[in-house]
Each structure stands twice: as structure tokens, then as C-alpha cells.
Amino acid sequence: MLLLSALVLAAALDGTYTGTLSCPAFPNQPPLRSQIKVTVTDRTATYEQVAPGTASEAISAYESGNGTVSASGEIVLSGGCRGGFSCVTEYRGKLSGTPIRLKGSQRWWFRSGERERPCEIELTRAGPSAS
């Protein structure tokens, strides 16, 4: 019975979540504010930036990744950047509340060295996933 309850709760979390990824500025760069999409299916999550950040962010780094969702809704995402820059990312939170908030960090490697910044993802549920 408990297994069935966990499966029903996990399936209830399946769907698409959209929102905003926000991070403070690095020196000589604007803050990051970009659209993001998270898709959850069968306790597995994928995420991607769906639009570049502000027009002044011409570096065109693109972030994507994947993760897991527990039966209780705890989500852990990890990923990285593509587009000529190197970064690793991790975000954690719970798929509950309105809006849903995930907190995490981005670690970047530049010619001048390594830098890390805290980031936040704010999501709302866009609708159930297509099966």
C-alpha cells in the first residue's frame, strides 16, 4: 500500500515546469537571468535553458542537465554549460509551493581562474507531460 502511494505521488509530479534561472553578476559581466524548462517523467528530470540570457550576454553559454525526483518531490539537478565555456551546476529543492524555488550554484572556469556563484531557479508548473 505504501509503495502504491509513493508511485501515485511520484506520477503526480510528472510534467513540465517553466521559469527563470537567476544568478548574480561575475566581475565585468551582467547578472544572469534566463528562461528555463524542467521536465519530470517517472522520477527522472531533465532541464535546459530555453532562451539565452539578456541581450548583453553575448557569450552564448547554454546550460542543460538532468537529475532525480524523490517520491516526496525532492529534486536534485546537475548539469553543465556548452557553447565555448566550461561550467558545472547543481540545484536542489522541492516540487511544491507556488512558486517552486530551487537553490544551487554554478562553478565556472575562465582564463583568469575558477569562480562560483549562487543561483536560484523559480518555477511554475506548465502542465502534465505528454505520454
- List of residues 6+ apart from 114 with CB closer than 8 A: 107, 108
What are the helix and strand counts (H, E) for the chain?
1, 8
| Phi, psi torsion values for 85, nearest 5 degrees | -125, 155
pTM, two decimal places: 0.82
pLDDT tens across the length of the chain (131 residues) = 444 444 555 578 999 999 999 999 988 888 989 999 999 999 999 999 976 555 444 455 689 999 999 999 999 999 998 776 789 999 999 998 788 999 999 999 888 889 999 999 999 998 554 44
Give how many domains the chain has, as a whole number. 1
Residues 6+ apart with CB under 8 A from 87: 61, 63, 80, 81, 106, 107, 108, 109
Residue 108: give its domain's CATH number: 2.40.128
The pLDDT of residue 131 is 45
**The domain containing residue 55 runs over which residues?**
2-127
